[in-house]
Amino acid sequence: MRIFCTFFLIALFCFVRSALTQEIVLGLSKNEIGITAFFDGSEILVFGAIKATDELISNEPLGVAVTIASPLLPVMVRRKEKRFGIWVNVDAVEIDLAPNFYAVATTAAFSQVVDPVSDLRHSISMERMIRSVGAPMTVDDPDAFAEALIRIRQDQGLYKALPGAVTLQDNTLFSTSVTLPANLVEGAYTARIFLTQDGNVIAQKKTTIDVRKVGIERWLYNLAHQHPATYGLLSLAIAIFAGWSAAAVFRVIRA
Amino acid sequence: MGLCGPMYIYLPIAEVSVNVFILIGLGGLVGVLSGMFGVGGGFLMTPLLFFIGIPPAVAVATEANQIVASSFSGVLAHVKRRTVDFKMGGVLLIGGLIGAGIGVIIFNYLKGLGQVDLLVKLCYVLFLGIIGSLMFIESLRALGNAKRVGNSKPRHKRTWIHALPFKMRFRVSGLCISAIPPVLVGILVGILAAIMGVGGGFIMVPAMIYLLGMPTKVVVGTSLFQIIFVTAFTTMLHATTNYTVDMVLAVLLLVGGVIGAQFGTMIGAKLKAEQLRILLAIMVLVVCAKLAFDLIVEPSEIFNLSVARGH
């Protein structure tokens, strides 16, 4: 029993050691993104270095995967079917958690950088990032709904697979840039960097990017939610004023 | 990026970024129609907003706010030309407010069933189809009569409407009828307006002409007058319960809208009533056909996403 315990401790120590032998030093071009009135999307540069405190265990080349994810939210996916001659929403599957924006950039093809076991453990690919606890029994092919979610968001430029977008120099310096679209939602975005060797994750690092509305955008959003009656009356006042001034201006023009 | 390319603006409530000029252009186009026909234009604008990627809840609520502006702008021109029957408008408004309240209750009930989009679209197809066809046939006949005889048939036929109690005199419309039909028209329009996210002018205008027998000249101004208040009420309901009125979106739409409405009123004043009616009928039928087509033809993407609520 004692021998077993000792063996276990040694194994654990080795595991921790090996996990710590590679360390990621990370930098971002910006830690926060302000959504202003003329927000047109944003480009974010993720760069860093791999600090090797030890010699690499094997000579297999290293890989880097960088992911950027918006906060996770539940999404309802509905499928239409033809009923009585028209297309109607029939089946619905709720995806419990899915990011509104997700980008995954890798040094090479995704399957070469991350193996399925690591992907399962760390939820790196889009497919793994989306969590669905269970579809209703009435739906015969629940996977189609998760695929549809990915397909629709890819078409909207919200989900991006970027194989080969990460450059890695001398197994030390890496960098990639990810374009964030204009239709971002607010929240704490998570950037994760995985260092892999032979498909296994040997080091990882995580940081957050704050995406929030600023200036008049922030003010209007807060007013709408905190003082809705004032906001509604203000909207009406603007509408009435705009209507009146247009009429007044045209009266002058025509006179 | 930069000033040379298309200018995009981020909408704080809708949380999407859209081209400024597209929004102003849409507002202008719908404004012209609003001024010409006395319709709020919501039946056209709301689907157009869906199409450019505005979330439906925001589109419906913001459109109500925008209709307030274009209707107000339009009604001022009509007030000046004395083509608003305020008394009739007030009676229609009483019905309209009751109807809008009922409509919101029905809307929320349907939302709970999860089929609200389909029912809204079916409402559009049904009402646009019926009204468009009726108006088209009627105005073709009127146009034919005007050419041959040079004299339209008398408007004041005695029907069941004249046998109802609570008679009121509507001097501007030259009518002496019961208050019940206008209140009922107001309620019906209010319900449909709240469910379909429109001002309801495209239903009210024909109802005023064919059901109440009002002269076409005062129908447009009176309809605009009533729409202002019903849509203002709807705006407040949406702003305080769903927080879905996007002020930035509304301002951009109404910049185009109020200017468009002025041009529309000018064009409308130059056209004959029958020509106006036939144009409105054609437009209503085109929108109806497009919506029906979309329901029947297999969509390119049979899946759709929406924000999941609850838990």
Domain boundaries, chain B: 8-296
Size of interface A-B (CB pairs under 8 A): 187
Q: Is residue A13 part of a domain?
A: no
| Nearest CA distance, A236 vs chain B (angstrom) | 6
Q: Is residue A11 part of a domain?
A: no
Contact (Cβ atoms closer than 8 angstroms) between residue B72 and residue A243: yes
* B-proximal residues of A, 221-240, CB under 8 Å: 221, 224-225, 228-229, 231-236, 238-240
pLDDT at residue B242, as a whole number = 75
Rounded CA separation A189/A68 (Å):
7
Question: What are the DSSP calls for A78-127, one per residue?
Answer: EEEEEETTEEEEEEEEEEEEEESSEEEEESS-HHHHS-HHHHHHHT-SHH
pLDDT at residue B151, as a whole number = 43
CB contact under 8 A, A225 and B243: yes
Q: Is residue A16 part of a domain?
A: no
Position B71, amino acid: S
pLDDT, one tens digit per residue, over A32-45 is 888 887 777 888 89
Please tell me which residue, A23 or A163, carries the higher pLDDT value. A163
Confidence bin at A144 (pLDDT 50/70/90) = confident
Answer whether residue A21 shows pLDDT above 70: no
How do the pLDDT tens digits run along chain B, 311 residues long? 444 456 888 888 888 888 888 888 888 888 887 777 766 677 778 878 877 878 777 888 888 888 888 788 778 878 888 888 898 999 999 999 999 888 878 877 776 666 767 777 788 788 888 878 888 888 888 777 765 544 444 455 556 666 677 777 887 777 778 888 889 999 988 888 777 777 778 778 888 888 888 888 888 889 889 988 988 988 888 888 778 889 999 988 888 887 887 788 788 778 777 777 788 888 888 888 888 888 888 777 788 777 665 43
CB contact under 8 A, B10 and A86: no
Contact (Cβ atoms closer than 8 angstroms) between residue A68 and residue A44: yes
| SS3 assignment, position B19 | strand
Same domain, A75 and A117: yes
pLDDT at residue A214, as a whole number = 84
Residue of A nearest to B298 (CA): A87
* B-proximal residues of A, 102-141, CB under 8 Å: none
Confidence bin at A102 (pLDDT 50/70/90) = very high
3-state helix, strand, coil in chain B (%, to 5): 70, 5, 25
3-state helix, strand, coil in chain A (%, to 5): 35, 40, 25
Question: What are the DSSP calls for B123-179, one per residue?
Answer: HHHHHHHHHHHHHHHHHHHHHHHHHHTSSPPPS----GGGG-SSEEEETTTTEEEES
A70 touches chain B (CB under 8 A): no
Rounded CA separation B26/A213 (Å):
26
Enter the pTM of the model.
0.72
CB contact under 8 A, A246 and B258: yes
pLDDT at residue A4, as a whole number = 57
| Closest among B90, B107, B86, B304 to B198, alpha carbons compared | B107
Residues 6+ apart with CB under 8 A from B39: B33, B199, B201, B202, B205, B223, B280
Same domain, A220 and A209: no
Structure tokens at A250: 């045209």
Residue matched to tokens 């960098």: A175
Q: Is residue A134 part of a domain?
A: yes
pLDDT, one tens digit per residue, over A117-141 is 888 888 888 888 887 666 666 677 7
Same domain, A167 and A49: yes
Same domain, A193 and A233: no
- Dihedral of CA B23/B24/B29/B30: which sign? positive
Q: Is residue A60 part of a domain?
A: yes
Q: Residue range A70-99: average pLDDT?
A: 84
A90 touches chain B (CB under 8 A): no
| Choice among A47-61, A161-175, A221-235, B192-206 with the minimum mean pLDDT | A47-61
β-pair type (A159-163, A102-106):
parallel
pLDDT, one tens digit per residue, over A191-209 is 999 998 888 888 888 899 9
Same domain, A140 and A233: no
Q: Given the cut 0.85, state whether the ipTM is greater than it.
A: no
Residue matched to tokens 């202008």: B28
Same domain, A100 and A219: no
Same domain, A97 and A186: yes
Answer whether residue A233 shows pLDDT above 70: yes
* CB neighbours of residue A247 within 10 Å: 21
CB nearest A35 (choices: B7, B10, B308): B10
Q: Residue range A243-251: average pLDDT?
A: 80
Q: Residue B128: CA atoms inside 13 Å, Cβ hemisphere, count?
A: 26
pLDDT at residue B91, as a whole number = 92
Same domain, A251 and A199: no
Same domain, A164 and A225: no
Rounded CA separation A2/B43 (Å):
79
Confidence bin at A232 (pLDDT 50/70/90) = very high
Q: Residue range A78-84: average pLDDT?
A: 84
Domain extent, residue A240, equals 215-255
CB nearest A247 (choices: B73, B114, B236): B73
Answer whether residue A149 shows pLDDT above 80: yes
Same domain, A172 and A219: no
Same domain, A143 and A157: yes
| Nearest CA distance, B140 vs chain A (angstrom) | 31
Total count of domains within chain A: 2
